[in-house]
Amino acid sequence: MLKKNKDYRVMKKIGLIINPIAGMGGSVGLKGTDGLAHEALRLGSIPKALDKAKVFIEKISGLENLVEIVTCSGDMGENALKKYNFNARIIYFPRSENTTSSDTVEAARIMKNEDVDLLVFTGGDGTAKNIYEGAGESTTAIGIPAGVKIHSSVFAKTPGRAGELAKLFIEGKTTLTKEAEVLDIDECEYRKGNVNTRLFGYLTVPVERKFMQNKKAPSLKSEKSQQYEIANEVIRDMLEDEYYIIGPGSTTRAIMEILGLKNTLIGVDLIYNKKLIENDLSENQILKYISSSPAKIIITPTGGQGYLLGRGNQQISDKVVKTVGKDNIIIIATKDKIANLKGEPLLLDTGSNETDEMLKGYAKIITGFRETVIYKINS
Amino acid sequence: MKKIDRSCKVRKNFHQAKWDEAIIFELSQKGERGILVPKAETKISEKVGDGISKLPKNMKRKTVLNLPEMSQNRVLRHYTRLSQETLGADVNVEIGQGTCTVKYSPKINDQLSRIPKMAELHPLQDESTVQGILQIMYETDLYLREVSGMDRITFQPGGGSQGVFTMASLVYAYYKEKGEENQRNEIITTIYSHPSDAAAPHVKGYKIVYIHPDENGYPDFEAFKAAVSDKTAAFFVANPEDTGVYNKNILKFTKLVHEHGGLCGYDQANANGLLGVTRAKEAGFDMCFFNLHKTFSTPHGCGGPAVGATGVLKHIEKYLPAPLVDYDGEKYYLNYEITNNPYSVGKIRSFNGVAQVVLKAYAWIRSLGPEGLYQVAKTAVLNNNYLFKKLMELPYVDAPYIKGKQRVEQVRYTLEKLYNETGVSTADVQRRMMDFGMHYWQSHHPYYIPEPMTLEPTETPSKADLDEYIETLKFIFNEAYTNPEIVKTAPHQSVCHYIDESGMDDPEKWAVTWRSYQKKFK
């Protein structure tokens, strides 16, 4: 019979960071709380992040002998753990009761140094960005949604769901992880009614594998193996003596990994004859290279809104696109990512109407080995 | 006697067999025997020797075959127990297996297929001794021509996916003769057609181009226009697709493909709502296939005997796998002439298809007649739309795409609202259904429709059956709000609580044969 692994019961170290002011701007119509916590309080907003963290903690209560929690003092963590018997240690003390984003960054940095197995944080996109700044992309994290803006895919759907996922992780029932995008929007622009999301980076999140009893539809391949399949398909058709501009994202990164090349997850890399030319190029650097030689662009849409250009890959500017030409843009995406778009078209925002117009319509997206999807792109 | 009002009767007292029966190899005991074969009498052994030495050398095993060793009654008990651990159509109001057309298959047809005349047939028998089954194959071919509008049917493909593979092979053969097989290397399909419509051509070497639906759930015609080119070998599609939405503009699609020189293949695996209503020919298709083990009640294959009967128009006929069954006015015979050319696909499978399955489909068609087939389609559509209307009245159930439009034989619903509000997923509901002796299926992956639930009642269930199924679903939806844990941890009344699928994409954990399983996990 299948060996049942019961040796997963090792202590896990969980970091807990609560952004106590997260979400306060929302109820009073401020579309975010960045820099406006006092204003939100004045308008009568009641902090809810702590309650949301408690929902999470309730879900993992019962696992006290499996976890050690490291957290921050006061409302940044300590207060949520009262009434529970967790083995908790406070490792960060904010300078003031009115905590700011720099407290989140600093706490995340310390948690990373503490080598936590899982960093759980409560907040919104701004908080996720701060966690990323402090802890970097290799730290495994789960976001408890409590902010006004939840665009990043590092967040669980609800605080309860975050708790269930953490429970699986603590019990060793899920060991798979993937990189999830940290997106934030420009709040000044957002308050004017313009949604401009930006890709700041990636955090590693645990992946919940659902337990099913189903003979007919075995699970789809993991996202990682889909990415490798796509990467192999792209590499197979790569031409000699042409530049390949590799956009940001874990799907495009798989190409670099298979070729054994150093890469940047949120930067733009350039390769030529399957060799690395340079990492993390700016628009001007790209233009310099491609002025004299044919080139192709390989890009993947951002998760969530599905921006193909103009969000997180601004280096691939309208000038770069025009120089390379519409027919030399290779779009790649996993089927999961396309399914998550729920039929909504891919979007463009290169900053040039002319370029957006040129690219809109229907395009082929490579989704696997000798497999494409025809998908709509709107400007 | 008390009369039970079935409309609100949820089988709360159902209990499935709840032990995990060991597999037969694990039950084996060395030396245990079911039958002790008596030693041959001297007279016989003098005549035939030991019965082994005369066998040709290449037919003899070098090592002893590893078979389980068990007494007869232990074998009987083992298989009887296994049969109780299933939740098959015979114990279940089986309307939950959408896309599979699980219907009542008359037991008499099973008995027919087991009569010695059928069971003891050998495919290498001389034609003169198998006239009966050849006649049945020939006539079933004629019936399916009527149903599809095609000009010739082959029964060789051993299932639906092999039916699609046969269509892909026919497409390849057709272009090979024209010298265009390298240029035409793409097959277009849709995301809501069966995944085999992509997978089987993929195996044949084709590139696959997928089309997404428009906001009404029809394949997006603008995307389709962008996809069709002189690289297009064929368009393989189901209609209705898994959503149950019938694409009334299908002629526009097939016409466009033909204008670009491509071929069109109709996936009619689930033709249950279409019998006597529409035909592949009139919808502009060059070829199609039916699953005899679905629509034609033989019953569903599930890896067992099946036939993906594939039909073609005249201009594709010569590429069909050989042989075809024909009648010369006096006798039925295997015709190798039509396909006697270098471009025929040759063999898709050994011999000539699963004769027993063809026989069962034949018996079913004959028992219903043309009017009966049409009645099957009407009843299946009525049943489905009754279920559709009743479920759509529930606040937690929705069905994406064109609102108010009747579906054909099945519907893909979404339980997204239930999931968002309770955290109970479609997989949880699915497992909980088993506690009431019911079953349902979600969807192929990936889930383009979130938290999917695909139901296909067919013509089999009565209104009372449908009501019982609906009440059971409602009972579980209610539990999702009042006691979500009981749903999430289901099944509680079943063989096995859940299967951890996390090893599915880890080749290190794969054990695809009994031997590799023993090597890795013993």
Selection from B419, B446, B433, B423 nearest residue B492 by Cα? B433
Q: What is the pLDDT of residue B255?
A: 98
Nearest CA in chain B to A376: B223
Instruction: Give yes or no for B500 touching A (CB within 8 A).
Output: yes
Minimum distance, in Å, between the CA of residue B486 and any CA atom of chain A = 15
C-alpha span between B313 and B286 (Å, rounded) = 6
Instruction: Give yes or no for B445 touching A (CB within 8 A).
Output: yes
Q: Is the dihedral of CA B298, B193, A225, B413 positive or negative?
A: negative
Q: Do B209 and A372 touch (CB under 8 A)?
A: yes
Chain B contact set for A56 (CB, 8 A):
none
pLDDT digits (tens, 9 = 90+) for B224-261: 999 999 999 999 999 999 999 999 999 999 999 999 99
Q: What is the pLDDT of residue B495?
A: 74
CB of A202 closer than 8 Å to CB of A181: yes
Q: What is the pLDDT of residue A41?
A: 72
| Three-state SS at A150 | coil
Q: What is the pLDDT of residue A4?
A: 38
Over range A180-191, report the average pLDDT: 74
Q: What is the pLDDT of residue A34?
A: 66
N residues, chain A = 379
Q: What is the pTM of this model?
A: 0.85
Selection from A91, A98, A94 nearest residue A116 by Cα? A91
Angle, helices A49-60/A159-170, rounded to nearest 10 degrees: 40
Q: What is the pLDDT of residue A187?
A: 66
pLDDT above 90 (res B355): yes
Q: Token pair for residue A356?
A: 């957006």
3-state SS of B222-274 is: HHHHHHCCCCEEEEEEECCCCCCCCCCCHHHHHHHHHHCCCEEEEEECCCCCC
pLDDT above 70 (res B7): no
Chain A contact set for B209 (CB, 8 A):
364, 372-374
Pick left, alpha or beta for residue B47 (phi over 0 → left; psi -120 to 50 → alpha; otherwise beta): alpha
| Tally of CB atoms within 10 A around B61 | 6
Q: What is the pLDDT of residue A96?
A: 85
Burial class (CB in 10 A: 0-12, 13-18, 19+), B439: buried
Q: What is the pLDDT of residue A189?
A: 65
Buried b (16+ CB within 10 A) or exposed e, B373-396: beebbebbbebbbbbbebbeebeb
Higher-confidence position of A138 and B188: B188
pLDDT above 70 (res A28): no
Minimum distance, in Å, between the CA of residue A1 and any CA atom of chain B = 7
Hey, of B210, B428, B489, B496, which one would you mutate to test binding to chain A, going by the most A CBs within 10 A of its CB? B210
Instruction: Give yes or no for B441 touching A (CB within 8 A).
Output: yes
Over range B65-87, report the average pLDDT: 91
pLDDT above 90 (res A69): yes
Give A46's pLDDT tier (boundaries 50, 70, 90). Answer: confident
Angle, alpha carbons A161-A165-A169 (nearest 5°): 165
Q: Do A212 and B498 touch (CB under 8 A)?
A: yes
Asked if this assembly's ipTM is beyond 0.85, the reply is yes
| Tally of CB atoms within 10 A around A181 | 26
Rg (alpha carbons) of chain A, rounded to whole number: 22
Nearest to A370 among B202, B420, B450 (CB): B202
Could you tell me the CA-to-CA distances from A2 to A211, B176, B499, B500, B518 in Å, in that order? 16, 48, 11, 11, 10
Chain B contact set for A209 (CB, 8 A):
500-502
Q: What is the pLDDT of residue A216?
A: 40
Average pLDDT, chain A: 86
Lowest mean pLDDT among A115-124, A305-314, B134-143, B262-271: A305-314
pLDDT above 70 (res B497): no
pLDDT digits (tens, 9 = 90+) for B49-67: 888 888 898 988 889 888 9
Q: Do B212 and A210 touch (CB under 8 A)?
A: no
Average pLDDT, chain B: 93
Over range B434-441, report the average pLDDT: 90
C-alpha span between B134 and B129 (Å, rounded) = 10
Minimum distance, in Å, between the CA of residue B377 and any CA atom of chain A = 25
Pinpoint the alpha helices (H) of A97-153.
Answer: 101-113, 125-135
Q: What is the pLDDT of residue A351?
A: 83
Q: Do B209 and A160 touch (CB under 8 A)?
A: no
Give A213's pLDDT tier (boundaries 50, 70, 90). Answer: very low
Q: What is the pLDDT of residue B306?
A: 94
Give A178's pLDDT tier (boundaries 50, 70, 90). Answer: confident
Chain B contact set for A343 (CB, 8 A):
212-213, 215, 448
Q: What is the pLDDT of residue B227?
A: 98
Nearest CA in chain A to B441: A214
Q: What is the pLDDT of residue B290?
A: 97
Minimum distance, in Å, between the CA of residue A214 and any CA atom of chain B = 8
Give B450's pLDDT tier (boundaries 50, 70, 90). Answer: very high
Q: What is the pLDDT of residue A210?
A: 53
Give B303's pLDDT tier (boundaries 50, 70, 90). Answer: low
Q: Token pair for residue B282?
A: 């009139």
C-alpha span between B302 and A160 (Å, rounded) = 38
Question: Among all chains, which residue has been given the structure tokens 């019962």?
Answer: A62
CB of A244 closer than 8 Å to CB of A270: yes
Nearest CA in chain A to B203: A370
Q: What is the pLDDT of residue A195?
A: 60
Q: Token pair for residue B95?
A: 């309307």
Minimum distance, in Å, between the CA of residue B147 and any CA atom of chain A = 28
Chain B contact set for A377 (CB, 8 A):
none
Bridge pairing between strands A197-206 and A118-123: unpaired
Question: Among all chains, which residue has been given the structure tokens 């019953």?
Answer: B299
Q: Do A374 and B227 touch (CB under 8 A)?
A: yes
Lowest mean pLDDT among A149-153, A251-255, A339-343, B345-349: A149-153
Minimum distance, in Å, between the CA of residue B347 and any CA atom of chain A = 26
CB of B299 closer than 8 Å to CB of B106: no
Q: Token pair for residue A261?
A: 């090349």
pLDDT digits (tens, 9 = 90+) for A264-281: 888 899 999 999 999 999
